[in-house]
Structure 1
Amino acid sequence: MHLNMTLLKQRLDTLNQLRINRAMANMGSAFQQVYMLLPIFLHYHHPKMPGYQDGIVPNGICSYIPSDTQSQYLADFCQNTGIPLIPHTTQVLPITGVYCMGSTSSVGQSQSSDLDIWICHQSWLNSNERTILQAKCILLEQWAASLGVEVNFFLIDENRFRQNQSGKLDSEDCGSTLHILLLDEFYRSAVKLAGKPLLWNVVPDNQEMNYEEYVSGLFAQGELQRDEWIDLGGLGSLSAEEYFGASLWQLYKSIDSPYKAVLKTLLLETYSWEYPQAQLLAIEIKRRLHNGELDSFSLDAYYMMLERVTIYLQAIGDDTRLDLVRRCFYLKVCERLSEPSETIPAQGNWRREILNQLVLEWGWDNTRLEILDNRANWKIERVREANNELLDALMQSYRNLIRFARRNNLSVSASPQDIGVLTRKLYAAFEALPGKVTLVNPQISPDLSEKNLTFIQVPIDRANRAGWYLYNQAPTVDSIIGHQPLEYNRYLSKLVAWSYFNGLLTPGTQLHVKNSEHCNTEKLQAFVADIAKHFPLRVPASTPKALYSPCEIRHLALIVNLENDPTASLLEETQPFDLGKLDVFSFGKQEQCLIGSVDLLYRNSWNEVRTLHFTGSQAVLEALKTILGKMHQDAQPPESVDVFCYSEHLRGLIQTRLQQLVSECINLRLSSTRQESHRFKALRISGQTWGLFFERLSVSVQKLENAVEFYGAISNNKLNGIPIQLNAEQDHLPQIIDGSASEGIIQFFFENADKGFNIYILDELNRVEVYLNCQGCIEELVCDVSRFYASSHERFTYGSGSVNFNLPQFYQIVYTDGEASIIPFNSNSISPLSAPTVPITKKDIMLSHTF
């Protein structure tokens, strides 16, 4: 019925030891130390060992037998401390196994590879015990980091995959987006560091669909003892619905690791192409293991991924992506073949040998190898080309998977919360929007700094477009004339921000400004210094909570008179003036506004960096309205609000007055309550009076020509509660929604009602639609709406097609003791409702907006 179990166990042990040896080969002593000692620190808990914390901490690995290296460490530890380590008195220990998974031990491992460690634990650990064990893992991660090694621990309940449980989505944990596909990756790459072996490995590939019955037979016949193995379950239940969430997860990972993400996303596309006959890579590796194929290629998870993707791309005739995936593989392996082999350490040359063989098959010459091996020195032109190529490939895979889902009428297996978080992150990273600073170097090259940057302004009525052109050269005729600029924009602040946040502009860069009437090199240097002081390049990643919540401004700067400075002509004024009474917004007899241009630079809670430019006499008003419109009432105030002024005269006064005005307006916007929607701010700008009205869902501007209009506006506000006439349906809009209304995204709010449930929809402009007393299943509605927007609204513009990451966000209005609050919608927050009086269909919801 099955292969001789003794022989199979020997092969498993041989493969595991081979992978351990390969993981250690050609790696530094710090990596080897961490890799070998982690099981000791999880088996024991001692004050002199890393990871120690007070209290009762779950420790102990089932069936743990120290290796020779670990035994020597333990002997030295006991001798140095004078304290013997007390062995565990029970065989029922909380940790069933410690496994390393991912690229470690494969040809894809490099000197910079991190360690992904699965700690498989007994299902009887309670929540508090898991929390304590997780805290110990964090301490161990910090210990490894102090040695220069990145380790990520994942606590895996032994029943997680059997019961379709998921972790909590974060930068490392895929949450609900992966299930069987995650188990597939684990099984094909797992290396046992300590504990029980994996039961799945002994089940023949042709028995995968009968996994449970086959395993029960092994135990019933006495072939195996149940308590000697870890059983995470079989791979026979892969659902095609998982592909969409998995593709989102890989796109999310591509933000930081694009080369690896291209390989993994193309593997998903390959699986979908083979559907429904797709065989997971883990099953293929197991088949080869059972057949006794133990050579360098057959059981290497990374090579097999390349092999399977290659077969697919050759079958569909996609030579472009085939060439790209080979380059991604080469760069991931990171063995520089253009260098003489004598410079490479002898130990660990097996990766180099494999890569040499592949490169020979691909027909690459030394010139191509030298270009790839010089990646650390790539500058902006080559990096941007590489980034566009990677992004095009990823988006093509994503679109193909979307089409696959449409053809097969598949829903999404991931939770709405996780899909919402991932799409927010992808939207922030990839969506091309006016004024947004696009980051073009996702871990492609470590240094894009330039020695010289030249900013050239072209005025109106010239052959070239009016605006600013950026060159990474000194301003000489030979380096500028006839050469393409790096970047163009209508206004200077966007080019400076793009250069700074992409790493081209550093303290060592020489700046040059040409052909500008209002901005010289000195002013530009001051602007750059202000940005560098107030906007750090590296900030913590956005949390899932921040990504699921409406976007909020975190760091804001107003850049005044950088390109248009009305104060430059003030020397012509002969009349003395009192600084204490001077109105910078309506100055002198001509009532001139001394602010001629305002640039906004801000970073939001999704870590997007945006710039906007306003010029002319109303620049202040337009900038204020824009800022305030991007703040919902319940938003946290920005962590910093700065005004940078570059006026020739009255610089300090203009900066102070505008800082005061902005702070006051932000306070009015964020402190306005739903009962005080009549708040407004009157402004006198260039001799005209304007009113900023702080309404329920937005901020409006109204020109007040005379006193009658002025007081009339105030009276209407007090009388009606809001200055804009609402549709009749909006009278039903719960006031709690006001605090979450956010421009730029589509929001659905669900509320239980006596005869069903109510739906309140706010579109990207905060226009409201209300549906009362609906019927049906909200969970189905959420899935259908998400899928509709994901596959139908094509606003993403990379490559030949479009992808939309700006999917709707879903919330639930709940009442506790009569108090309303809003929480993210999840499958547990509401149950199906029925008994409608006004029925509504899914088509009604999906067709209720035109974008």
Structure 2
Amino acid sequence: MTSPRKTTGMVDAAGKKRAGGQIVKAEFTRSSSSTIAIDALELRAVRRRFMAINQDRLRRVRESLEHRQQVFMQLLPLLFHINHPMLPGYLTNKTPCGISDYAPGKRCIQAARKLARSFSYQRRAQRRYSIHALYMMGSTGTIAYSRASDFDIWICHRPGLPDDQLAALREKADGIQSWAESLGLEVHFFLMDDVSFREQEHQQLSNENAGSSQHHLLLDEFYRTGLLVAGRFPVWWLVPPEYESRYDEYVDKLIVNRFIKAVDIVDFGGLSGLPSEEFFGATLWQLYKAVDSPYKSILKILLMEAYANQYPDIDLLAMRFKKLVHQADVQLDRLDPYVMMCNTVEEYLFSRREMERLDLARRCFYFKVNEAMSKPDHGLAQSWRRQAIRELVESWGWSHSKLTTLDQRRQWKIKRVLEERHLLVDELTRSYRALSQFGRENDDSKVSINADDLNLLGRKLYVAFERKSGKVELINPGVSSDLSEERLALHYISGEGQHSWAMYRGPVLERDTAENEPLKRSAGLLDLLAWCHFNGLINRNPSTVSIHPTDCCLSQWELRCVLDCLQQLFPGGRLPDNNMDALSKSATLCEAGLFINLAQDPMSKLTRNGMQLVSERIDPLSYGGQWENLAISFQMIALTSWGEVLTFGYSGHTALMDCLCDYFAWQPVTNGSAPPPIPCFSFSSSRGAIIARRIEDLFRDVAEYFYRNYWRRHARYALRIGQHYFVLQCENDVPRYLELESREALLDHLGQAQASFSPIHVDVQTLDNSPLGIALKHNREGVVQLFYRLDHGHAEVWILDERGSLFHQRIIFHDRQTLLGQFQRFLEAVRYRLRNMQQPSSLSNDDDTEYYRIVRDSMGQWFPETQKTSRWMDSHYLDVQVIGSPDDSNRGAFSIFCGNREFSILEHGDNIFLAVANYITDQRGSGSRYPIYITDIDLSSSVFASDSGTGVQTIHFLNQKKRIEQQLNESLHQLRKN
């Protein structure tokens, strides 16, 4: 039921009556307004007229459908009136159903039995009906309806229906919608209730729902186009136009004085005016719809312009419609909503003498009607739509040749489509500016559309109309169905250190380019080919594209391969329908492809000289003895969740890293799901397939490493490209890279302190089978691990501390006890100091440091061999303890203790390391030539100032140990020389 209303007037003591006591006419007065007169006979007559128009338009809807589709119209109310397991849309017996004042007829029951032979209808009385009415709205039953049109159906349900029942009703509607699709009909259902609508509580904005962008304009369209399929009629029909400003008062009187029953009506509210603040949101909504249906939207935007021109005394089309019906002027064709809209727009534009816009508006109307009037009627002579549109085009003075041109719109080619698109975009832009200016001039303080809907519509318009670098512009917004060209000419233009590409229509040779305007120019080849692909210029035979000059960097074979790849990635250049849900979130990548060395051979210099680069080093990123990078340029194409097609180009020695970081920036690492896998292609050289596979594997490896593990935000990934090294690590939740010029610089960087556990992964081909890869794979959080490998009298030592920082040192090897014993003493001392500091430590509760020797197995593969450490601490070494650091700003606190002997920088100055080396040499027996090892360091807090925020970790002590030991051993070597 509708919400209860308060009585706003008093009934006069006297009223005119007919025999039997029936009220024929009653008058109601208010102290502050004129008398309201209600005539019961006139009410019935008006309702009969509206119902007659309604039935005639429903008949036209049925007649426009194919025979197999007519069952949809027959069964539509029944499907929402009952729940039957054998009928479309059935969920459960508890799904809300039942339409007020509806009972199926014989034909409806017969149609139901054709779908379900066991069906039998049993009428059951219900206390309350879940559905008050079904309405069709839009072009159905009008001159603008064609077989390509869709059905918009309002399900007017009982106000206050619980959320779970609303969800069930929505699911039932979805089932019926799917059934309609099987019949070849596009149907959209909208759940409405009149109370919420009157209070302007709108549903969420979606592809088909205007949300809060318009209210009165939607009501205007509903009242002039809505068709009652079943259930309650709109009480708006009965309110005379002269009482529209007192709509609520008039309806109250109708109900209170029993001219009508509240259970017989739905009430979406009156339509006495159109507030200025609604124009902006409604304009945005129509611009959004113009992305896919520009002709229909231009008509509606021009109607809003006409309304704005009449403001504040707007003659709404719904009110014109009502006035004609109340005046008994019920010629069906004259009352056609789209004819009325076209006439209003014509009146507005003609009054302004804007004849070009008038011609465009008429074309929009003609395309919406979708009747080819240049063709003979044949069997369609009795079609009321053709007869009506014929009268219109004759009144417009259109020639047969013009009709022929318009009827061939679906076959228009690129030049004509570009002209039409320019006109459409100019018109949309002009109307948008005019209506925006109108809104600002009349009421800048109010905007009826809510912020979320405004943001969504703005994003959609940004995607559709905003120009930006690399964006593939779609030039065919529902204009032509086939833009393919029989011949195209692709020209490479080079000069002054820059190059570009241009596409011409027809077999244009180099000497003819000055006389022909290219269809499009582009700095990047992929950008140009993608534009051709998505706009359908290149048909399935790429040989229709000639390349000029013929000896340029692009071969016909490579062109064919690139076009095949675009077809594979984006079949037919068709884009998926993007919805409002996607626009409500940040844009992500849906599909992407990467073209490497497009029209560029990385080995061209060698090839021209008749040479081939041959080497056992086959990694395309560091090929041959000179570590040549064969992946020198990248062009990426990507489809986003917002529906944009974008291209990106990268060149230079950091091209790969720039491309990789940009690609992963689309998806924050903490989301846990990587962007979609990116297929890679390369056709310009004999090693193209190897290059593409290498890059594809790299992207997959990086994605798996960063996006699959809990430490992904802090992890590091290292690789070599050419003669340089790069380290990837997350910054602001996306991977960023640091370039390093040598292997030594890489190891130094990996040895830096970390704020939290940051494991390291080195690209497998960068490692060149180095044993370091095995050490990194065994890294564990909170544990210090030492790995060493023997190599020609030396030991290569790697230590991974509790946060994954890498320490590396190559030292002379005497024996295992000497090597591991001194590190064990030192690491145990560091562990003791870390646990006694005032800040929390990242060390685990396990007291043991892990020690491994890396050796080869019988197959030549590296593996870690666990080393036992129990006896190394028993060795009687001379303890060498360092207090402070020589780099400390408070240098006077720096001392070295050898056993109980102290060497202070205050005493020895810069000769402190020589003095310590001399003392240790004296303490050793003759012939002892092994290096000096530090067993303990006590560092002051100022040493860690450069690593503020990271806290103290084992790597700080190891790095100081290495530096001080180097100075001590240099002094020891100097003593031996002397």
Q: Classify the TM-score, shorter chain.
A: 0.7 to 0.9
Structure 2 distance, partners of 1:316, 1:714, is: 73
**C-alpha contact 1:25 1:347 (8 A) present in aligned 2:** no
User: In the alignment, what sits opposite 1:446?
Assistant: 481
Please tell me the residue identity of whatever aligns with 1:28.
E
Please tell me the residue identity of whatever aligns with 2:76.
L
User: In the alignment, what sits opposite 1:106?
Assistant: 142
Query: 1:575-620: per-residue Cα shift (whole Å, max 9, x none)?
Result: 6311xx3232233344432123210111111121111222344432
Equivalent in 333, 341, 345 of residue 305 of structure 1? 341
Structure 2 distance, partners of 1:575, 1:435, is: 35
Q: Does 1:23 align with 2:23?
A: no
Query: 1:741-799: per-residue Cα shift (whole Å, max 9, x none)?
Result: xxxxxxxxxxxxxxxxxxxxxxxxxxxxxxxxxxxxxxxxxxxxxxxxxxxxxxxxxxx
Q: Which has the higher Rg, Structure 1 or Structure 2? A: 2
Q: Does 1:415 align with 2:453?
A: no
User: In the alignment, what sits opposite 2:622?
Assistant: 586
Query: 1:614-644: per-residue Cα shift (whole Å, max 9, x none)?
Result: 2344432332343244443445422231111
User: In the alignment, what sits opposite 2:385?
Assistant: 351
User: In the alignment, what sits opposite 1:363?
Assistant: 397
Contiguous gaps of at least 5 residues in structure 2? 1-36, 759-978
Structure 2 distance, partners of 1:647, 1:13, is: 71
Shift of 1:692: 4.2
Q: Does 1:384 align with 2:423?
A: no
Please tell me the residue identity of whatever aligns with 1:642.
P
User: In the alignment, what sits opposite 2:691?
Assistant: 654
User: In the alignment, what sits opposite 1:133?
Assistant: 169
Shift of 1:701: 4.5
**C-alpha contact 2:534 2:574 (8 A) present in aligned 1:** no
User: In the alignment, what sits opposite 1:172?
Assistant: 208
Structure 2 distance, partners of 1:156, 1:382, is: 43
Please tell me the residue identity of whatever aligns with 2:412.
W
**What does residue range 620-639 of structure 1 map to in structure 2 within 5 Å?**
620-635=656-671, 636-639=673-676
Query: 1:415-450: per-residue Cα shift (whole Å, max 9, x none)?
Result: 222222222222122211111111112222222233
Equivalent in 195, 217, 231 of residue 181 of structure 1? 217
SS in 1 for 2:457: helix
- Greater relative contact order: 1 or 2 (C-alpha under 8 angstroms, separation 6 or more)? 1
**C-alpha contact 1:101 1:189 (8 A) present in aligned 2:** yes
Structure 2 distance, partners of 1:193, 1:506, is: 46
**C-alpha contact 2:274 2:314 (8 A) present in aligned 1:** no
**C-alpha contact 1:203 1:215 (8 A) present in aligned 2:** yes
Change beyond 3 A, Cα 1:677–1:138 = closer
Shift of 1:146: 0.8
Shift of 1:669: 5.9
Q: Does 1:375 align with 2:412?
A: no
Please tell me the residue identity of whatever aligns with 2:685.
E
SS in 2 for 1:439: coil
Q: Does 1:198 align with 2:265?
A: no
Please tell me the residue identity of whatever aligns with 1:50.
P
User: In the alignment, what sits opposite 2:470?
Assistant: 435
**C-alpha contact 1:62 1:91 (8 A) present in aligned 2:** no
Change beyond 3 A, Cα 1:716–1:695 = farther
**What does residue range 487-636 of structure 1 map to in structure 2 within 5 Å?**
487-509=520-542, 510-515=544-549, 517-536=552-571, 537-571=573-607, 572-573=610-611, 576-578=614-616, 581-635=617-671, 636=673
Shift of 1:158: 2.8
Structure 2 distance, partners of 1:669, 1:159, is: 52
Equivalent in 58, 74, 78 of residue 36 of structure 1? 74
**C-alpha contact 2:281 2:454 (8 A) present in aligned 1:** yes
Q: Which moved more, 1:59-68 or 1:102-111?
A: 59-68
Structure 2 distance, partners of 1:497, 1:313, is: 39
Please tell me the residue identity of whatever aligns with 1:62.
S
Q: Does 1:225 align with 2:258?
A: no
Shift of 1:507: 2.2
Structure 1 distance, partners of 2:71, 2:268, is: 29
Change beyond 3 A, Cα 1:711–1:210 = farther
SS in 2 for 1:161: helix
**C-alpha contact 1:96 1:230 (8 A) present in aligned 2:** yes
**C-alpha contact 1:100 1:117 (8 A) present in aligned 2:** yes
**C-alpha contact 1:288 1:298 (8 A) present in aligned 2:** no
User: In the alignment, what sits opposite 1:158?
Assistant: 194
Change beyond 3 A, Cα 1:705–1:625 = same
Query: 1:456-476: per-residue Cα shift (whole Å, max 9, x none)?
Result: 2122259xx942121343466
Change beyond 3 A, Cα 1:607–1:361 = same
SS in 2 for 1:640: coil
Equivalent in 642, 653, 667 of residue 679 of structure 2? 642
Query: 1:209-239: per-residue Cα shift (whole Å, max 9, x none)?
Result: 2111101111233322221212222223643
Q: Does 1:400 align with 2:438?
A: no
Query: 1:378-417: per-residue Cα shift (whole Å, max 9, x none)?
Result: 1222222222221221122222222122222143222222
Contiguous gaps of at least 5 residues in structure 1? 723-851
Please tell me the residue identity of whatever aligns with 1:359.
V
Change beyond 3 A, Cα 1:378–1:30 = farther
User: In the alignment, what sits opposite 2:517?
Assistant: 484
Query: 1:699-718: per-residue Cα shift (whole Å, max 9, x none)?
Result: 54544346786567556773
Change beyond 3 A, Cα 1:647–1:672 = farther
Change beyond 3 A, Cα 1:448–1:478 = farther
User: In the alignment, what sits opposite 2:49?
Assistant: 11
Shift of 1:174: 1.6
Structure 2 distance, partners of 1:502, 1:717, is: 53
Q: What TM-score comes out, normalization by structure 1 length?
A: 0.78
Change beyond 3 A, Cα 1:84–1:440 = same
Structure 1 distance, partners of 2:570, 2:121, is: 51
User: In the alignment, what sits opposite 1:424?
Assistant: 459
**C-alpha contact 1:672 1:694 (8 A) present in aligned 2:** no
SS in 2 for 1:97: strand
Change beyond 3 A, Cα 1:324–1:568 = same
Q: Which moved more, 1:503-512 or 1:385-394?
A: 503-512
Structure 1 distance, partners of 2:284, 2:670, is: 30
Equivalences, count: 713
**C-alpha contact 1:518 1:562 (8 A) present in aligned 2:** no
Structure 1 distance, partners of 2:666, 2:189, is: 38
User: In the alignment, what sits opposite 2:307?
Assistant: 271
Equivalent in 336, 339, 347 of residue 372 of structure 2? 336
Please tell me the residue identity of whatever aligns with 1:424.
R
User: In the alignment, what sits opposite 1:45?
Assistant: 83
Structure 1 distance, partners of 2:569, 2:654, is: 26
Change beyond 3 A, Cα 1:703–1:72 = closer
Please tell me the residue identity of whatever aligns with 1:209.
S
Please tell me the residue identity of whatever aligns with 2:74.
M
Q: Which moved more, 1:515-524 or 1:447-456?
A: 447-456
Structure 2 distance, partners of 1:292, 1:508, is: 62
Shift of 1:525: 1.0
**C-alpha contact 1:678 1:714 (8 A) present in aligned 2:** no
**C-alpha contact 1:103 1:109 (8 A) present in aligned 2:** yes
Give me the CA root mean square deviation.
2.9
Please tell me the residue identity of whatever aligns with 1:497.
A
Change beyond 3 A, Cα 1:694–1:672 = farther
**C-alpha contact 1:65 1:194 (8 A) present in aligned 2:** no
Shift of 1:338: 1.0
Change beyond 3 A, Cα 1:477–1:538 = closer
User: In the alignment, what sits opposite 2:960?
Assistant: none
Structure 2 distance, partners of 1:319, 1:331, is: 18
Shift of 1:88: 2.2
Structure 2 distance, partners of 1:371, 1:420, is: 39
Structure 1 distance, partners of 2:241, 2:118, is: 51
**C-alpha contact 1:26 1:347 (8 A) present in aligned 2:** no
**C-alpha contact 2:597 2:632 (8 A) present in aligned 1:** yes
User: In the alignment, what sits opposite 2:940?
Assistant: none
Query: 1:330-361: per-residue Cα shift (whole Å, max 9, x none)?
Result: 110111111123x251342x222222222222
**C-alpha contact 2:236 2:267 (8 A) present in aligned 1:** yes
Q: What TM-score comes out, normalization by structure 2 length?
A: 0.69
